[in-house]
Chain A
Amino acid sequence: MSAFTAMMWNGFREARRNRVTVVVGVFAAVVLLSSTLVTEVTVATFDRVLTDFGLGMMSIILVFLTIFLSSSLLSREIERRTIFLVVSKPVSRRQFLLARLAGTMLTLGVLLVAMTLVFLSQLLLFGATITQTQLLASAGLWFELLIISSVGILFSSFAGPAVSAIATTGMYFTGHLTGDLYQLASRSESIAVRSVGKAIYYLLPNLERVNFRPQATYALPVDASTFLSGVGYSLAWTLVLTTLAIFIFERRDFR
């Protein structure tokens, strides 16, 4: 096993043994299963409610977990000095950071697959149709989490866990609103407002590019080019954010 794989598996093992991850996993299963109760009060559009509730809950829970895991990923290692025993081995700081990100994404991926299976089982149980868009929405969520994790790691490379968590949460909400902000700003007569709206749109990641949950809820198709451009967009932002995080992390002193 290579050093990178060993560090990545260790990250996964850490999350697996972390009480928060376990509690979140169990909570997610309970919430998803309890979505059947929502259908009790649904007169029509049964499939739509089940899909909306299921995918929405998966998103909220996993975003919470992503912020929790990523925003303390590096800072906690530095504060607790666990990093001393890892980066003193023949591994570069870049390898360490990327392996930690990979470990987090592996954890989130496993949880996402488990939640998706619970969600799809429910659909099958209630005789609802499983659509390709539902699967794409689930996959898109992983790429959204990838951007959020990269933001969390970037903040974690120079700030403490609390600051990182607050900033990452802010970026999550802004990331879902950049499109709306751009639209609003572009209607303004002020050049300054229009410029700020444009700057926010281009300088911050637009998480709506990988959010296919509305289409899944309304059973609308998502074509391959839309999905793949979202994936490409997510990977490009991940590359930018992790490059920046590596640049900062490689220059830090561990006192």
Chain B
Amino acid sequence: MTNPSPDAPPIQAQGLAKTYKVGFWFNRTVRALQSLDLQVDSGQIYGLLGPNGAGKSTTIKILMNLVRPSGGTARLFGKPVEDAETRRLVGFLPENPAPYEYLTGREFVTLAGQLSGLSGHELDGRVTEVMGAVEMAGAEKLQIRRYSKGMVQRVALAQALVGRPKLLILDEPTSGLDPLGRRQMRDLILAERDKGTTVLFCSHIIPDVEALCDRLAVLVGGRRVREGSVQELVSAQVPTVEMVVEGMKPEDVRGLGIPLESVQALDGRVMLQVADVDSQRLLGGVLGAGGRVNRMQPARFSLEQLFMDTLKESGRATSVGGEINT
């Protein structure tokens, strides 16, 4: 068996699908993932964004060989994910990681290093290095059962880093962390990227995705509905203008008959969004009706807005989870 090639794309998936059988008689199915194509190139931070049950964690579990796909293929560094050797180049941080609680933080990271093939002085040095990097050197001799959630998350990240991975797969890495912890986690991910490590991470925390990702895919209901760089995805949206109007009520503005993206009453003022092509017509209408335009500027598109729009388009703004068939 040949070794995984560090020059091959870190992640390649084609037509990936997963259907779970559920119920007492396993007579119902949940389609958690449907025909997912994914390629993550070397050195990228690639984000998987989606609501709960979108298929993000299922994708990651297939890549880590924790779950067997019902269809399609997945390869890490050119080798099938079933090949244990591929994981020598991979560091994995699962969602809500559960390290062995009877071990100390250092013992656990040492075990992870041994499983990654390190030994002797190299192992000792590397464990000290990563425990320092995640700022856990001071608590490394404490049993993990005494750790807070944030400390567990840090130790779990340390075990992912100990084998000097070329690919980091992180499932909700900032979940449950306080703002400082989130910031530190983000800095650590960026530092790894700067060292040349490829990162795949999934999250439903949009600011994290926006701050970190070079490229991202939006998953909804087990399908990929958007893919591209943050810039590409955001600029593909219809440009809109934000306007603040005084001397009119929301219903007066709506009464002008111009289609509005949103209308919000704000303490005697009305804040509204309108498509750029309709903005001049609206301006004329407001002034003609005796209103006063306090502010008018192009709206800044955010990933959050794109995400919400995507959910609405998919008809899943309120529902979560994969497709359930009975």
A positions within 8 Å CB-CB of B: 1, 3, 6-7, 10, 13-14, 17-18, 80-82, 84-92, 95, 251, 253-255
The interface stretch among B59-67, B215-223, B253-261 is B59-67
The answer for the CA separation of A82 and B97 in the assembled complex, in Å, is: 8
Q: Would you call B68 and A89 a contact (CB within 8 A)?
A: no
B positions within 8 Å CB-CB of A: 20, 61, 64-68, 84-88, 90, 92, 94, 96-100, 102-103, 111-112, 114-117, 119, 156, 159, 163
Q: Would you call B84 and A91 a contact (CB within 8 A)?
A: yes
Q: What residues of chain B lie closer than 8 Å to A10, measured between beta carbons? A: 100, 103, 111
> How far apart are A125's CB and chain B's nearest CB, in angstroms?
36
The answer for the CA separation of A87 and B261 in the assembled complex, in Å, is: 49
The answer for the CA separation of A253 and B85 in the assembled complex, in Å, is: 19
The answer for the CA separation of A17 and B84 in the assembled complex, in Å, is: 30
A-B contact count (CB 8 A): 79
Q: What residues of chain A lie closer than 8 Å to B96, measured between beta carbons? A: 81
Q: Would you call A14 and B98 a contact (CB within 8 A)?
A: no
Closest residue of B by beta carbon distance from A252: B68
Closest residue of A by beta carbon distance from B64: A88
Are A14 and B66 CB-contacts (below 8 A) given A7-B115, A88-B94, A92-B84? Answer: no
Q: What residues of chain A lie closer than 8 Å to B112, measured between beta carbons? A: 85, 89
The answer for the CA separation of A95 and B88 in the assembled complex, in Å, is: 15
Instruction: Please name 12 further chain A to chain B contacts, defined as beta carbons within 8 Å, in addition to the given A7-B115, A85-B92, A88-B87, sorted by A numbering.
Output: A85-B99, A85-B159, A88-B66, A89-B163, A90-B85, A90-B88, A95-B84, A251-B68, A253-B20, A254-B61, A254-B66, A255-B61
Q: Would you call B98 and A85 a contact (CB within 8 A)?
A: yes
Neighbour of B102 across the interface among A17, A84, A253, A255, CB < 8 A: A17
Q: Would you call B115 and A91 a contact (CB within 8 A)?
A: yes
Are A255 and B20 CB-contacts (below 8 A) given A3-B115, A89-B87, A90-B84? Answer: yes
Q: What residues of chain B lie closer than 8 Å to A88, measured between beta carbons? A: 64-66, 87, 90, 92, 94
Closest residue of B by beta carbon distance from A94: B84
Q: Would you call B98 and A82 a contact (CB within 8 A)?
A: yes
Q: What residues of chain A lie closer than 8 Å to B64, measured between beta carbons? A: 84, 88
